Chain A
């Protein structure tokens, strides 16, 4: 996101007041092997999903904390966005999905030998949530379990 001084007053105050969680007890997990030998997954909070999948819902109190599975085989033409916020510029992602969800860039890194492999599935949440309880208690652990089951070692998180 831009530096706070770049934002307008309303958006700056909104960011400063945003109910973020802090996890002082999050364990540090050093890399067990180089990235070039690791399996990488992509997880985003950009409200993306496969075309025809259930869109995220704008009216859910606190925000929609569900997740969507985006199989890695899904082409850019079949990934769309149902983000509830209009506080960001959609033009970038209209032009190029990779500016938020870098599916082509990750494949290129695999082809270059910089990443070992990619997971079969990527995952997507809605961003701009005011209440993340549903992610902390339900959808977060569920996606973590799926990633572990798939042998994922590194997750690239991209925001809206």
Chain B
């Protein structure tokens, strides 16, 4: 096994850096030449990665727009620009709800937070409401992040996290949703909350 110093989510070092990724793969496959094992070696590169910040570590400021739904709509052109520039590749898709219907997803989440018996017709019968909310939130986060990466192509990852959690209505909505799920009597909802925001 090759131990690498990169942060979780970046096993091959850096996105969009094929040369460096090949270096990591070469170092990994070189281990196959060892004569006895177990093999555990450290990649010699010494680097200190950015450590991910969670929403609760950032101070929320007044969102740039008042409504998460309107904010989402304002980012749509950037999101579509991202998808077009990446041959159709997008991390959005877990809920299987088309992104042009995400305003309905926002209403679904807002209803859930307010304590309504909230549901959405796209939810498969064998997927619980809390679990489906998790898929929806993952889609909304991916939509926002990809839109922001199109909007600010040279922006640092850390800046995107700062922006989402402290500057957007969707970040605030996501934090409120996580709190609502933590406060729920349903253990399934509590279990999902930890993966929504913390």
Residues of A within 8 A of B (CB): 1-3, 6-8, 11, 26, 28, 30-31, 35, 46, 51-52, 55, 57-59, 75-77, 80-82, 84-100, 102, 104-106, 108-109, 114, 154, 156, 158-160
- When the two chains form their complex, are residues A94 and B13 in contact, meaning their CB atoms are under 8 A apart? no
- When the two chains form their complex, are residues A98 and B149 in contact, meaning their CB atoms are under 8 A apart? no
Please indicate the chain B residues that have their CB under 8 angstroms from the CB of A92 in the complex: 9-10, 14-15, 157
CA distance A138 to B192 in the complex (A): 25
CA distance A121 to B85 in the complex (A): 28
Q: Which of B4, B5, B91, B128 has the most CB of A within 10 A?
A: B91
Is B160 part of the contact surface with A, judged by Cβ < 8 Å? yes
- Known: A2-B6, A77-B87, A98-B21. Is A90-B11 also a contact (CB below 8 A)? no
Is B16 part of the contact surface with A, judged by Cβ < 8 Å? yes
CA distance A106 to B29 in the complex (A): 11
Is B107 part of the contact surface with A, judged by Cβ < 8 Å? no
- When the two chains form their complex, are residues A1 and B142 in contact, meaning their CB atoms are under 8 A apart? no
Binary contact readout B1-32 vs A (1 if CB under 8 angstroms, 0 otherwise): 00111111111111110100110010011001
Q: Which of B3, B28, B29, B86 has the most CB of A within 10 A?
A: B29
- When the two chains form their complex, are residues A81 and B91 in contact, meaning their CB atoms are under 8 A apart? yes
Please indicate the chain B residues that have their CB under 8 angstroms from the CB of A156 in the complex: 25, 28-29
- When the two chains form their complex, are residues A87 and B51 in contact, meaning their CB atoms are under 8 A apart? no
- Known: A6-B49, A81-B91. Is A87-B8 also a contact (CB below 8 A)? yes
